Amino acid sequence: MSGNRLDDIAPAFRAAVERWPDAANLQQHYRELVRAWEGEGSSVIELIKSFLECVCWTVLNELGAEGLASSTPTTTELLARVLDALGLRHQRGVGPLGRVISAHNRLAEALNEYRNQDGSVAHGRDGFLDAISNRYTRVYLLSADSVIALILSAYDGREPNLRTISRLE
């Protein structure tokens, strides 16, 4: 059903794999995410989080950015480092884009907490608990799509258009 296709709902994931066609790990994450999303797999939350982190690592490696303080950074730390490397963090002041970037930082932390608490294979999760509602999983997907779109726009040197960021225009 086209209404449930990952590429129709969250185009930034496809844009990332097209941006880096030779990034084997990113390509594999994408294939697994499509299978899980379109087939109602149980590890969608974990795959979304992993994909976002993979995009962050890819950008950091391509930019030759300096290492992170931690050898096992959180999603929030990775996003903050990518935004620093792209020149988006702490330089925009309190304008609309600055507020959106701040919100994306908070969103990354919330995604990390959500995954750890509610993901189907989250740390120590009881296998008999009910799965996360499809509605909340979709919110998680769209949130990550927005963050990835912001990263891709900035990486390509384009000022993100806050009204069309999810369409990657």
pLDDT for res 92? 46
Q: Which residue has the higher pLDDT, 80 or 2?
A: 80
pLDDT tens string 125-155: 444 444 556 667 787 788 888 889 889 988 9
Report whether 148 contacts 17 (CB < 8 A). Answer: no
Predicted confidence (pLDDT) at residue 164 exceeds the cutoff of 60: no
The string of DSSP codes covering 39-102 is TT-TTHHHHHHHHHHHHHHHHHHHHTPPPPSSSS--HHHHHHHHHHHTT-SSSSTTSHHHHHHH
> Cβ(76)–Cβ(112) under 8 Å?
yes
DSSP state of 129: S
For helices 11-19 and 24-38, the axis angle rounded to 10 degrees is 160
pLDDT band at 7 (very low <50, low <70, confident <90, very high): very high
d(CA 19, CA 83): 18
* pLDDT digits 0-9 by tens, 9-58: 999 999 999 999 999 999 999 999 999 888 866 788 888 888 999 999 99
Of 49, 48, 73, the C-alpha closest to 60 is 73
Structure tokens at 116: 């750890």
Query: What pLDDT is recorded for position 158?
Result: 81
What is the reported pTM?
0.78
Q: What is the pLDDT of residue 60?
A: 93
pLDDT of residue 26: 94
Stated length of the chain:
169
pLDDT for 93-128, tens place per residue? Answer: 555 666 666 676 676 667 667 656 655 554 444 444
pLDDT given at position 168: 47
Torsion of CA 111, 116, 119, 125, to 10 degrees: -170
Nearest residue to 38 via CA among 49, 30, 46: 30
